[in-house]
Structure 1
Amino acid sequence: MLNYSNKKRAFRLTPPQTLAIGFIVIILIGSVILATPSANTSGEALPFLDAMFIAASAACVTGLSVINVGMDFTTLGQVSLMVLIQVGGLGFTTMATLIAIVLRRRISFRERLILQEAMNQTTLEGIIPLIKKVMIYSLVIEAVGAVLLAARFMTEMPVGRAIYFGVFHSISIFNNAGFDLFGMYPDRSASLIEYVEDPFVMIVSIILIILGGLGFIVLSDLITYRQNKRLTLHSKVVLSASVALIVFGTIIIFIFEYTNPNTLQPLSFGHKLLNAMLQSVSSRSAGLSTVDIGELRQASQFAILLLMFVGAAPGSTGGGIKVTTLVVLIFAVIAMLRGREDVVLFRRRLDQERIHKAITFTLLSFFLIVIATMVLTTTESAPFLPLLFEVTSAFATTGMSTGITDQFSSFGKAFLIVLMFVGRLGPVTLAFALARKPEKDKFRRPEGRITIG
């Protein structure tokens, strides 16, 4: 009996393993649905690899696509895509927990540990109230976004379709997925290119992207600020870094594309600035664009690539290494240059574990992108920078593309699926999911010294 109990405990999944398997199951279910003939306007089954690519891109809220989802998917396919985006954005554990709460089922300690892992929390305290807030905030923001977008779309399409478009694109934009249905119209460009001179659509999109990328912890802090009169250190760092990155990206894109006849040059000064801001905001995870990414100058593409690598905030619908990781690394360098032992942010000292985790996550992400790019340069025929751009976009779950995604070989598509999965789950979480149960060292070895720099 004791042996059976030990075996049962040995086969019990850890929280990282549960998250990994959960995402795999969601992707497989989505793949089966999207591959069925009834989900495709041609009436024929979509190749399973292509269906899996779209399902993975939606569940990992990336936005890369090998088909025209607006034209090639039926309403069933598009609604299935929308559900995958919503589940992927909020996280399947969040959705499962909310169902359990509605059914008044008790949330076990183990399930709380999984939620803690999924929401990137350092403590179990207040995890269930946070999950409730996540759903409320998401539904309210998406509903407002849907109403605003639908009202705008009613000026150019039937009311029913305008409402449908409003709901789909609000969910897609808030969850930083980047999918759009405008390809339904053969004479229209994809994404938001048709709205390059429409301030209303751009401003609504910018707000939705920012709210989705800040993370639910920060949103909760902002909403309760009037009562608490304070923000947590996490929120201060996220807000400060987000503003700095938006300004940085806007200035870079504005400068380099100002005279580009294929992007911003034909626009007025105000429209140039607003489009540069949208691209800056969208680059960090949303994947939407009002200009052809492939027509951007290489300097702009490289700046966007860097923004994609950084990504959004922890606990958000965005990807990347996260803005908090970047801030920790920058201030660790500053502390080292000043000869200080502690890394201090807003008069708070960071523990060494956070710094080590930031370094680990960044290096793992960097090496993964480098290795993936090296592999794809041997299997695909595209130039180096577009391939690096595509790899970074997939890993950072951004979805921006220079237009080469549908040209990838079967191996290339499968490789991008893995990158999107790893990027959404996080390299460190995936490593913990695959690794054996960690054991503490029984002793510490003598300290050694090596020369650095």
Structure 2
Amino acid sequence: MRRRPQPIVALRRWLGRTPPPAVLAVLYLALIILGGLALKLPFMTRQTISLSDALFTSTSAVTVTGLAVIDTQYALTFWGQLVLATLIQLGGLGLMTFAVLVWSALGLQMGITHHTYLREDLNQTSYSRLTRLVWTIFRVVLMAEIAGAMLLCLSFMPATGLGPGLWHAIFHSVSAFNNAGFSTFSAGLTGYATDPVVNLVIPALFILGGIGYVVVADIHNRRFWHGWTLHTRLMLVGTAALIVIGVGLTAILEWNNPRTLAQFDSAGARLTVAWFQGVTTRTAGFNTTDIGGLHDSTSLLYMALMVIGAGPTSTGGGLKVTTVVVMLLATLAFFRRRTEIWAFGRSIGLDEVLKVMALIAIASVLIFSATFVLIASHEGHFLDISFEVASAFGTTGLSRGYTAELSDFGRFVIMVVMFLGRVGPLTLGFFLATRITPRVRYPEGQVHLG
């Protein structure tokens, strides 16, 4: 009988006893490093880039953020852009999908705790359904990105030619569905600010990718509204509300700003740009106008939207929409002196509220610490720096033009924020989902709050 090599045995043992999110965080790091080294190959770039440039770009791609320190159009060759698109696709699949794939591919048996967490996180009742959901995810990704690329060809091919137009369409479809925000155009999508196809297809892709695979599967498999789970209802209502707020306030605040909406003469063009920029802010990070030209009030609004982010088990980052919705429901219950939190005829458990509190607390500490460190080590406007940190945490990719001003240390800080913004909340959620029954109960004490 042939014995397996000792390193393989040791690896399987380590994977078997290590929590899936922790393993996958390591795999994310490995993917970032490999991506950075790949981008350093001579045929990947048209000009020499530093290791810092390569690692920052790889981190931004794997975490589907979109912050860039190099010009994707002119600095990268076709092969470099292909590597970038591959990193975006792998990063956009998400931790939970990777968990099922890795564990299934290696033939590992999940422990009860790991299995339970993954099953509950993806809202499934059995491991077989969990596996089916993974293949559903692949089908959704494939169909959405192919359809998106075909439609985007209608806009990109007439402007750039047959071959380049096809590649621009494929790249933007992958980038949009995975909420990455990378573009193969130096000026982003500003040249297509009023193009009807771009303004419909790109938002459709990143909204579909941002609401989460569980929601997509729920909508596809269950009866309208009453058959949907509480998570799906909260996610859809929260997403709709944030879209209305983002688009409406963008139009109101920027209507007469000559650097953004007011550069367009017609009301229809202004509303089109307000639609695209207001809806892309939470997750995708594309731009059809000058982000550096936004009013301070609009920038502050966008920071809040970026920190909120997309949905759980989606291609987006941030705190997640359902986290904020549960926080608001808990606050409302407190002021109404209710002892139970509920929505749409379903109650929300105390453990979920505690998880929300922990996620918001750790996000606040991370954002504050990163902003403080960057302000202490860099010259620059407070709003520009804090906007950059919020964009990195929400893995959005919008910038007021400050990314190029970062030192190597500043890039490292932003890379850490991008990584934790994508990986950290889910990893924390794993440990929060592991219930530990206390052996000792203490008498209740009084603490004065507020």
State the TM-score, normalizing by the size of structure 2.
Answer: 0.90
CA distance in 2, matches of 1:176, 1:28: 21
Give the 3-state SS of the residue equivalent to 2:347 in structure 1. Answer: strand
CA distance in 2, matches of 1:118, 1:192: 39
Question: CA offset at residue 361 of structure 1?
Answer: 0.3
Asked if the contact 1:389–1:402 (Cα under 8 Å) also holds between the matched residues in 2, the reply is: yes
2:195 counterpart of 1:198: yes
Give the 3-state SS of the residue equivalent to 1:182 in structure 2. Answer: coil
Change (3 A) 1:429 1:106: closer
2:421 counterpart of 1:414: no
CA distance in 2, matches of 1:319, 1:87: 15
Q: When the two structures are aligned, how many residues end up with a matched partner?
A: 436
Asked if the contact 1:113–1:124 (Cα under 8 Å) also holds between the matched residues in 2, the reply is: no
Note the alpha carbon deviations across 1:55-84, whole angstroms, 9 max, x for none. Answer: 010000000011101110111111000000
Question: CA offset at residue 109 of structure 1?
Answer: 2.4
Question: For residue 122 of structure 2, what is the aligned residue in structure 1?
Answer: 121
Question: CA offset at residue 116 of structure 1?
Answer: 5.2
Note the alpha carbon deviations across 1:326-370, whole angstroms, 9 max, x for none. Answer: 110111111111110001110111100001101110111012101
Question: For residue 3 of structure 2, what is the aligned residue in structure 1?
Answer: none
Question: CA offset at residue 222 of structure 1?
Answer: 1.7
CA distance in 2, matches of 1:276, 1:11: 49
Change (3 A) 1:98 1:372: closer
CA distance in 1, matches of 2:356, 2:67: 27
CA distance in 2, matches of 1:257, 1:390: 20
Report matched runs for 1:210-359 at 5 Å: 210-225=207-222, 230-267=227-264, 268-359=266-357
Question: For residue 57 of structure 1, what is the aligned residue in structure 2?
Answer: 60
Q: Larger deviation: 8-17 or 278-287?
A: 8-17
Which letter maps to 1:113? Answer: H
Change (3 A) 1:284 1:118: farther
Give the 3-state SS of the residue equivalent to 1:160 in structure 2. Answer: helix
Structure 2: gaps spanning 5 or more residues: 1-9
Question: For residue 187 of structure 1, what is the aligned residue in structure 2?
Answer: none
Asked if the contact 2:117–2:430 (Cα under 8 Å) also holds between the matched residues in 1, the reply is: no
Note the alpha carbon deviations across 1:215-239, whole angstroms, 9 max, x for none. Answer: 1111112222459962111110000
Q: Larger deviation: 440-449 or 251-260?
A: 440-449
Give the 3-state SS of the residue equivalent to 1:155 in structure 2. Answer: helix
CA distance in 1, matches of 2:260, 2:116: 43
Asked if the contact 1:62–1:394 (Cα under 8 Å) also holds between the matched residues in 2, the reply is: yes
State the TM-score, normalizing by the size of structure 1.
Answer: 0.90
Question: For residue 388 of structure 1, what is the aligned residue in structure 2?
Answer: 386
Asked if the contact 2:94–2:314 (Cα under 8 Å) also holds between the matched residues in 1, the reply is: no
Note the alpha carbon deviations across 1:388-435, whole angstroms, 9 max, x for none. Answer: 0000100110000001101100000011111110000024615968x9
Give the 3-state SS of the residue equivalent to 1:250 in structure 2. Answer: helix
Give the 3-state SS of the residue equivalent to 1:349 in structure 2. Answer: strand
2:24 to 19, 25, 28: 19
Note the alpha carbon deviations across 1:285-307, whole angstroms, 9 max, x for none. Answer: 10001101000000111101110
Structure 1: gaps spanning 5 or more residues: 184-189
Give the 3-state SS of the residue equivalent to 1:344 in structure 2. Answer: strand
Asked if the contact 2:67–2:397 (Cα under 8 Å) also holds between the matched residues in 1, the reply is: yes
Note the alpha carbon deviations across 1:166-208, whole angstroms, 9 max, x for none. Answer: 110000011000000112xxxxxx2111111212211111111
CA distance in 2, matches of 1:272, 1:400: 20
Report matched runs for 1:137-148 at 5 Å: 137-148=140-151
Question: CA offset at residue 323 of structure 1?
Answer: 0.5
Q: Larger deviation: 138-147 or 441-450?
A: 441-450
Identity of aligned residues (%): 37
Change (3 A) 1:19 1:98: closer
